[in-house]
Amino acid sequence: MTRLVDLRPRRGARLLLGAVPIVALLLVYLVASQARHAANPADKLLPTFSAMAEAIHGFSTDRDPASDRIVIVADTLASLYRLGLGLAIATGSALVLGLLLGVVPLARALLGPVIAIIAVIPPVAVLPILFIVLGLDEASKIALIAIGVAPFMTRDLTGFVTGLPAEQIAKAQTLGANSWQLALRVALPQLMPRLIEALRLSLGPAWVFLIAAEAVAADVGLGYRIFLVRRYFAMDIILPYVAWISLLAIAADALLLLVSRRAFPWAHGGGR
């Protein structure tokens, strides 16, 4: 008999198998929600799908009084702006630092320890400091994401560059490459797919920092909205918002993977 470890589902079967737990979860929710509403028609904990549809209609047509934009659009734009800028700053600085520390042992000796120390500080713990220093505006939220993500990315990229085979570095030097050319033509291009990979892994923590910052001090944003309507037990708004955030995260991840595959085919199984 074929061993369990050798049973590999085909594409169709794989999609079907993957859908089973998702459908099961939805069914469980449906049954539980209906049971609670049968007992108490005013139940707020597990809103029915129709109640959620109504809420979705509400926040995608109503306008946010401050910006005069549709509520979810205003929230999404504000959150993506903070997330994008924070991640851009983190990615840029991690790229420069990772390359520098990876290629130049002197820089590694100088900056390695301080980055290692910063990396172990829980970012949310410095959020009060950021609020005090940078104020309650956008800067502190963007800074939290950048500070939370950059040290991890820097260490990851440094490790990657130092892990490049010594043979490759020796070969480049025998081909006449100086330190700058070595960084620019050997280390940097090989670092790029890893940078995207590190960015994909950082998306999760970045969302956490964003929503934490928005929960504490904001007047617009996805995290702000969730924590605002929590006061009214508005699960019919919270659940669609969480689903929307997940969707955005999945889309960002897929987009980055696509970019990496297109731009660096040699890093994905030697494609064409």
Could you tell me if residue 86 is left (phi over 0), alpha (psi between -120 and 50 degrees) or otherwise beta?
A: alpha
Q: Report in angstroms the alpha-carbon separations of 196 from 89, 96, 193, 203.
A: 14, 14, 5, 11
Among 32, 109, 170, 250, binds another protein (CB under 8 A): 170
| Residue 186 or 226 having the CB closest to another protein | 186
Stretch that binds another protein, among 18-26, 32-40, 112-120, 183-191 (CB under 8 A): 183-191
Residue among 160, 155, 133 at smallest CA distance from 144: 133
Asked if residue 173 binds another protein (CB under 8 A), the reply is yes
Among 184, 208, 215, 234, binds another protein (CB under 8 A): 184
150-164: burial string, b at 16+ Cβ within 10 Å, e else? bbbbbbbbbebbeeb
Q: What residues contact 78, with CB distance under 8 A and at least 6 apart?
A: 218, 220, 221, 222, 224
Q: Which residues inside 150-169 make contact with another protein, applying CB under 8 A?
A: 165-168
Q: Report in angstroms the alpha-carbon separations of 165 from 11, 99, 108, 159, 162.
A: 37, 15, 18, 12, 8
Residue among 198, 207, 209 at smallest CA distance from 248: 207
Among 41, 65, 122, 269, binds another protein (CB under 8 A): 269
Among 21, 50, 176, 231, binds another protein (CB under 8 A): 176
Residue with tokens 């620019």: 184
Stretch that binds another protein, among 35-43, 57-65, 233-241, 264-272 (CB under 8 A): 264-272
Q: Which residues inside 185-214 make contact with another protein, applying CB under 8 A?
A: 185-186, 189-190
* Dist CA 259 CA 20 (whole Å): 30
Stretch that binds another protein, among 38-46, 47-55, 114-122, 175-183 (CB under 8 A): 175-183
Asked if residue 128 binds another protein (CB under 8 A), the reply is no
67 in helix, strand or coil? Answer: coil
Residue with tokens 């919270």: 238
Asked if residue 222 binds another protein (CB under 8 A), the reply is no
Stretch that binds another protein, among 93-101, 181-189, 201-209, 234-242 (CB under 8 A): 181-189
Asked if residue 106 binds another protein (CB under 8 A), the reply is no
| Residue 160 or 207 having the CB closest to another protein | 160
Size, binding site for another protein by CB under 8 A: 26
Stretch that binds another protein, among 12-20, 63-71, 130-138, 180-188 (CB under 8 A): 180-188
* Dist CA 258 CA 203 (whole Å): 15
Q: Which spans of this chain sit near another protein (rule: CB under 8 A)?
A: 165-168, 170-178, 180-181, 184-186, 189-190, 264-267, 269-270
